[in-house]
Chain A
Amino acid sequence: MYCFFGVLIGTLVGVLPGLGPASAIAILLPATFKVTPVSSFIMLAGIYYGAMYGGSTTSILVNIPGEAASVVTCLDGYQMALKGRAGPALGIAAFGSFIAGTFAVIALTFVAPPLAGMALKFGPPEYFSMMVVGILLLTYLSSGSMIKALIMAGFGLILSGVGMDTIGGEFRFTYGIRMLLDGIPMVPTVMGLFGISEVLLNLETEIRRDLLTNRVKNLLPTLKDWADSIWSIIRGTVLGFFLGIIPGGGAVIASFASYAIEKKVSKHPEEFGKGAIQGVAGPEAANNAAAGGAFIPLLTLGIPANPVVAVLLGSLIIHGLQPGPMLLSKAPDVFWGTIVSMYIGNAMLLVLNLPLIPLWIQVLKVPYFLLYPLIFLFCLVGSYSIENNVGDVVIMLIFGIVGYLMKKFRYEGAPLVLALVLGKMLETTLRQSLILSRGEFSIFVSRPISLGFLIVAALLLIMPVITQRKKLSTLEEE
């Protein structure tokens, strides 16, 4: 039942532009306090992968991405809709999502337990190096300037230091402000950065929606459609899954990378942007596989691969669970319950999604002047309900302004959130490593796993300097 609610709400969140899965999970998190941790996590996880399904509907029918991972689906999905092929576009997006999502869950089933076992051998230096790679990878893959993304990661790290020092016990950067004593709360921060700021930005310019409602027919793709897109789905699935696993990767990057690859391998690259079904099938498979893959580092290492999973990590912690290698042995019901629910959830999404398209069309007809006050209300009540604290609401609003300014000045929020989430653990593992080694930084390079991570980190920093980094933003411009 919770899985059903999760995927249904997730699809709705995916359909609605201006409300992403991170803010939706954050908003609904307080509503799950009364249920068991396993039910809560199943529902919130359902919102995440459900949103990946829903996002394509808005991209195809309105040419506005329902959520960030469906940006590229607009390029060919909307063109297909203009040509009267909205049905096959929606159909292949749903089937591709199902295939990729199911593959990711199967892989999660087999990869997660041995990886959790291996992670038990990780010490502070390995954790530290791995988190450094995660943050650097996210900045490297960011669509804008890497320097700005690094500044955002630094800002996130500094924000993570606000509040009590977990080792020394003293207060840092609080300046006697009571609401800062417990640190910067992650969930209201995410709501502000991604929810409030997005609405503020949308208030600047009227959203024009050309809803192609009369063209949705023949949802089942033809044999030719399948022949054209099956390899795109397979490539998107594999690529998305691996990008999802890597901390710093994620559904957005996976969908962009998949589109670029499909265009490259296609015999008719000129058809991309004019309604090529591969341009829908590949990215939609990739973003769903990435959403599934992102659960691997979360459940096995306790490392969130992207901001949405960071909110999921927060939900586990609020319910008294510590994500990481011990989760499998200490809370097997949460671990296996989530995996089983993902099999069911993916099947539900396929069965639900196509028949519910008329309903989503009605949802898309809700005028924005009604929608945005509702989003505000959800954010206000959601942030207040976490700890019944007005301070959290104020922090959310402040980060709403910060997020709005960041968008205006072209700074990305994702590195900030990842660094904010990982910051405390990063600092603790750094200080523990240095205490262990009596101040020798060589501890990070003398241990093979840590060394491996640091080599990757160094490459990520050096590569943009020695090669002309091909920015994903060029693809966005196309």
Chain B
Amino acid sequence: MSKADRISGIFWFFFSGLICIESYRLGLGSLHQPGPGFLFFWTAAVMGVLSIAVIVRAWMGRKAEEPESAIFGKENALKIILVLLSLFLYAFFMETLGFIPITLLLFIFLLGMIEKKRWGFAVLVSVAVTGVSYLVFEIWLKSQLPKGLLGFLRF
């Protein structure tokens, strides 16, 4: 894991540096009257030291552990990106389109495009899941799901 540790160590080092600057800007106060940035400045400072320890350990372990394995496998990388993209689109359009249309679209996409199931099967399952989940969340559990496009139907 030395390559992963080097990358993550460097990330945490810069992250802690940014937090130190931001906390300082917020105000450290005094020991009698600690300010809003007090705890976070010192937390980030300790994180900075720890991140250096991660980098050093990774650097020292590098020679012993060659060759290094890849952090992210290439298999299914596109699948994960597409799934994430569909989830973010779901979040952004759930209030505009409403729960029923957006859930239907999400399931058709996941089953039809991502899992490559037959379109008939994907649509059938998507309709069933959307219907049952609407009944469970909206009718039974009384969650206030967004109506969106179908708001005029008042059901």
Contact = CB atoms under 8 A, between A and B. Distances in A.
Interface of A: 30-31, 34, 145, 147-148, 150-151, 154-155, 157-158, 161, 165, 167-168, 170, 172-173, 196, 200, 203-205, 369-370, 372-374, 376-377, 380-381, 384-385, 388, 390, 393-394, 397, 400-401, 404, 408-411, 426-427, 430-431, 434-435, 438-441
B125 A370 contact: yes
Given A373-B110, A373-B111, A390 B95 contact: yes
A158 B19 CA distance: 8
Nearest to A406: B8
B155 interface: no
Given A31-B137, A147-B54, 10 more contacts: A150-B47, A151-B12, A161-B39, A167-B36, A203-B76, A204-B75, A390-B95, A410-B1, A410-B5, A440-B31
Contacts of A393: 90-91, 94
A108 to B, nearest CB: 30
A203 B103 contact: no
A440 B115 CA distance: 62
Interface residues of B, number: 65
B87 interface: yes
B37 A172 contact: yes
Interface in B51-85: 51, 53-54, 57, 71-73, 75-76, 79-80, 83-84
A150 B46 CA distance: 9
Contacts of B95: 390
B127 interface: no
B136 to A, nearest CB: 9
Given A151-B51, A173-B22, A431 B38 contact: yes
Contacts of A374: 129
Interface string B125-155: 1000100010001000111111000000000
Nearest to B7: A409
Contact of B44 (A34, A147, A158, A167): A158
22 contacts: A31-B137, A150-B50, A155-B47, A157-B43, A158-B44, A161-B36, A173-B40, A203-B83, A204-B75, A370-B111, A373-B106, A374-B129, A377-B133, A381-B99, A384-B146, A388-B144, A408-B4, A409-B71, A410-B1, A434-B34, A435-B34, A441-B31
